[in-house]
Structure 1
Amino acid sequence: MYISELIDMSIKNKKPDLVFKNANIINVFTHEIIKGDVAIHDGIVVGIGNYTGEKNIDVNNKYISPGFIDAHVHIESSMLSPKEFAKAIVPRGTTTIIADPHEISNVCGLDGIEYILSSTKNLPLNTYVMLPSCVPSTNFENSGAKLLAKDLEKYINNPRVLGLGEMMNYPGVIYKDKDVMDKLNLARKNKKFIDGHAPCVKGENLNAYILSGIKTDHECSTVEEMLEKLRLGMYIMIREGSATKNLNNLIKGVNNYNAKRILLCTDDKHPDHLLKEGHIDYNVKLAIENGINPITAIQMATINPANCYNLNNLGAIAPGYKADLIIIDDLEEFNIEEVYKDGILIAKEKQPLFKTDKNNFSKVMKTINCSKINENDIQIYFKKEIGEEKVNIITLQPYSLITKKEKEVVEIKNNKFQFNKNKDILKLAVIERHKNTGNIGIGLVKNFKLYNGAIATSISHDSHNIIVVGDNDKDIVNAVNKVIDMDGGIAISSSNQILESLTLNIGGLMSDKDIEYVNYKFEKLMDIAYNKLKVSKDIDPFLTLSFLALPVIPEIKLTDKGLFDVQKFEFIDLI
């Protein structure tokens, strides 16, 4: 019997495969550091104490931590295929992710879920999946698919499916929308977990939202919001990604009593940040820099998410737990030297030591289905021929997905909106790209601070139509049409010339190229956006742009159907 063999190793009747000698073992159960050996057999921790193995590694008083867990991530936001994503994050100590494939599912439906499940199956990375709950995220936009509860039944009992992904349609929960209720009931009936997404929801509405069975939230922007949700029994994920950076603020509300309910996540992170900053290791280091005890910070990245999602053999170093371990030089510099998955060395000095299989992308490619646009398609018309008009503007805030609805005066000539180089008011457009409906939503945005050009991308959360921002119509059209030509991706145009582009041919979201190539191209795009087009350094040019189409984050967004007031949950006119 297998357990008998492990017991023999534990009580020293036989030698285990591997022993780490002379370690400072981070104990996430008792919040202390234990000096001793870690014995491993067949990828399982069999003992802590004094052991000798078939192979012995003296770690010379370095620290051994459980592998990190990203509690909520969209692989697609890295613009990398899953195997390339693993190459980026595993060397930084992440050995488990809880992925929500709602980006690729909004484009490709069930084929998107299947792609994420199949392409992560043989990676040296525990990949659990939350079934996308909002495809589309709302009825106020066109997506590439619609998934109902009956569609999700196919995967609900897959052993790697933990439950239902972030329920962004919080009005649908509160007002008992039938499709939403069906999905919640599907998860509850099968005893599955339900993730939340409830920015600024509070009071009685928050009570109702939680009552439906939703257990987590990663959209808190203030300590007060976080504390209200903690008091009502939610787990709070503190997010530190590329566009949304909540950790420095929210960590102020963490104390010795509520820390066990805090998880760390990245949500959305681009390849340049993954390679330069890191992944969950960066979040841990940032928490420590903000005064959090190092062991507490590690708990947030290990045992807390494991407990939250009932991953009973992950997140700790103890008998019976998987030997997903990281070797750290010290708890101040927090440099991860080695990463072990199931007791096997898979990364060293931030470099992967594993190879990955090629995947079949065919069902998630060739997803751009729309006609090219021209300048007439993107005009903003007014009744008056010339003069000024006060209009509704989307105003950006630094490092936040939450926008403000404000009113600004714009100039009119020949009944049309006129760009003013002295005003930071840019044109924003969302072009439907799934069914070739011809829908184009047009609005205006402030605080992007782009000059002499346009940026277009087929990444626009969560329906992933083409979104573009620019200060002149020629560049707007040129950038959009380049994205269409590439069958998805990112393009920057200036003076009617394409300065740089990146093809994202997997669902219009991810590249089939390796991480080095994607990062090289993306860094060039970032450099051009900031240094040539002078985009504000307070925003991420591409992630911020992509979230301007998400009509579930306050206060005002733009979809292919028009300008949307998220607080009223209705379309509004520009004027």
Structure 2
Amino acid sequence: MKSTYAILACALAYASSAYAQTTLLTAKAYLDVHTGQLINNPTLLIKDDKIVRITTNGQLRPPKGAQTINLPNKILVPGLMDMHVHLTSDAADNFLASRNYSIPRQTVKAVKNAKTTLLAGFTTVRNLGASGYSVIATRDGINAKEIPGPRIFSAGHSISITGGHCDDNFSAPEKKSLSAGVADGPWAVRAKVRENIKYGANTIKICATGGVFSKGTKVGVQQFSEQELKAAADEAHLRGLVIAAHAHGTSGIKAAIRAGIDSIEHCSFMDKEAIQLALKHGTYLSCDIYNTEYTLAFGEANGVPQENINKEKLVSKAQRESFTKAVNAGVKMVFGSDAAIYPHGDNAQQFSRMVKFGMTPLQAIQSSTIHSAALLKLNNVGQIKTGFIADIIAVDDNPLRDISTLENVRFVMKEGTVFKN
């Protein structure tokens, strides 16, 4: 019964969030993710969706009509950000059967997974590829306050060469099936970027190399030419959008960086030159180093073909070695988990792997807060700070001491509205 009341309370708070509200939030401490300091006994005054005042002297009194939330044993952390998710897919679904899901079915999945992701403490995500503009519709429903979910940057269709990683290579040849993001040649690539933007994309993704979960592609082999990659980057930047490139292989990573792509996804085979290029160009790397365990443990049972499992075995060790080398070199890193390859809601389990393979706990948290905000060019999220959007989570312990505490988020506020308490 208690959980029912809690859900009802959150629903009522959500339904009323269109109206002005003031909240006074107190806690044991909050984490300043910029400095790494733990600030004790804070009181946050939140009006509508913003933090308007922070004190630590306990003298701030709730304004008339304000709701008060006391979390005396909790540590506040900025809402987390995941720069690589796929909300329309579930890891536990049969791999091949799920490729025949209709767009409405995929949209229902996205609505469900968006809520799960938010309640896990991730208040901003970047969805890098989905059929039929399904996640764009989900994002618009969230923005209209019709459904709960994180702030979403959605790429629409992933852009792919014919027969590439993001094409439909599982259908029989006589079906002549092409994914909606297929484009060959610089002008066709530009047109596809424009088409995604026409239908609501607020970020762009292009597949520069082969990948693990496609048929007939080699993960290390470059697909788009550098000229095509540059056309995509130029068109995205012309329209003011950030662009990501799926790239496992060394030559594809380098070509994407030189072409001006903003973030490289996966980054499995990084040599010294690739790392130096990323440093030179200020390119962000997004390395999904958690999901290997899930794929190797459950992939076969979930119908993942042996070809794809073998490719996961090929990239997993190399990807983690590349991650360590990039961290040691000081390359800019963001948190990207490839959620859907493992169950949604488990995103935070990647933090412990990031620490295991070279990051400090603070660096791992910064990758999911201030660095992800910088990649998306958001100057008012990712910190608990006056004037910033009130995206706030609460956990039981100091995450700098125990990073795994982020796997059990107790409280979630997004834009001043409480979704989990």
TM over 0.5: yes
**1:236 pairs with 273, 285, 288, which one?**
285
1:96 Cα deviation after fit? 1.1
Opposite residue 30 of structure 2, the aligned amino acid is I
Aligned-partner SS, 2:141:
coil
1:134 to 2:201 alignment: no
Contact preservation (8 Å) 1:74, 1:267:
yes
- Aligned-residue RMSD, C-alpha: 3.2
Superposed counterparts of 1:18-417, under 5 Å = 18-35=23-40, 36-50=42-56, 51-53=60-62, 54-78=66-90, 81-102=109-130, 104=131, 112-113=132-133, 115-123=134-142, 124-136=149-161, 138=163, 142-145=177-180, 146=182, 148=188, 149-156=190-197, 161-168=201-208, 170-174=222-226, 176-177=227-228, 182-202=231-251, 207-221=254-268, 224=271, 227-232=275-280, 233-239=282-288, 240-241=290-291, 242-243=294-295, 249-250=321-322, 252-253=324-325, 255=327, 258=330, 261-270=332-341, 273-274=343-344, 278-279=346-347, 281-288=348-355, 292-330=359-397, 331=399, 332=402, 333-334=404-405, 335-348=408-421
Unaligned stretches of 5+ residues in structure 2: 1-19, 94-105, 143-148, 170-176, 210-221, 296-311
Q: Which has the higher relative contact order, 1 or 2, with Cα contacts under 8 A spaced 6 or more apart?
A: 2
Aligned-partner SS, 1:75:
coil
Distance 1:137 1:341, change over 3 A: farther
Unaligned stretches of 5+ residues in structure 1: 1-14, 105-111, 349-575
Q: Distance in 1 between matches of 2:54 and 2:162?
A: 47
Contact preservation (8 Å) 1:157, 1:190:
no
Opposite residue 337 of structure 1, the aligned amino acid is R
Flag as ranges the 4+ runs of structure 1 deviating above 6 A.
Answer: none
Q: Distance in 1 between matches of 2:256 and 2:355?
A: 32
Q: Deviations over 1:73-92 (max 9, x none)?
A: 22233266111112322221
Q: Distance in 1 between matches of 2:152 and 2:380?
A: 14
Contact preservation (8 Å) 1:75, 1:101:
no
Contact preservation (8 Å) 1:133, 1:183:
no
Superposed counterparts of 1:527-546, under 5 Å = none
Matched residue count: 314
Distance 1:254 1:55, change over 3 A: farther
Rg comparison, structure with higher value: 1
* TM-score, structure 2 normalization: 0.65
Distance 1:206 1:250, change over 3 A: closer
Q: Deviations over 1:107-128 (max 9, x none)?
A: xxxxx12x22112322331111
Q: Distance in 2 between matches of 1:285 and 1:308?
A: 22
Percent identical residues: 20
Distance 1:129 1:77, change over 3 A: same
Q: Distance in 2 between matches of 1:120 and 1:214?
A: 24
**Which one has a larger percent strand, Structure 1 or Structure 2?**
1
Q: Which residue of 2 aligns with 1:503?
A: none
**Which one has a larger percent helix, Structure 1 or Structure 2?**
2
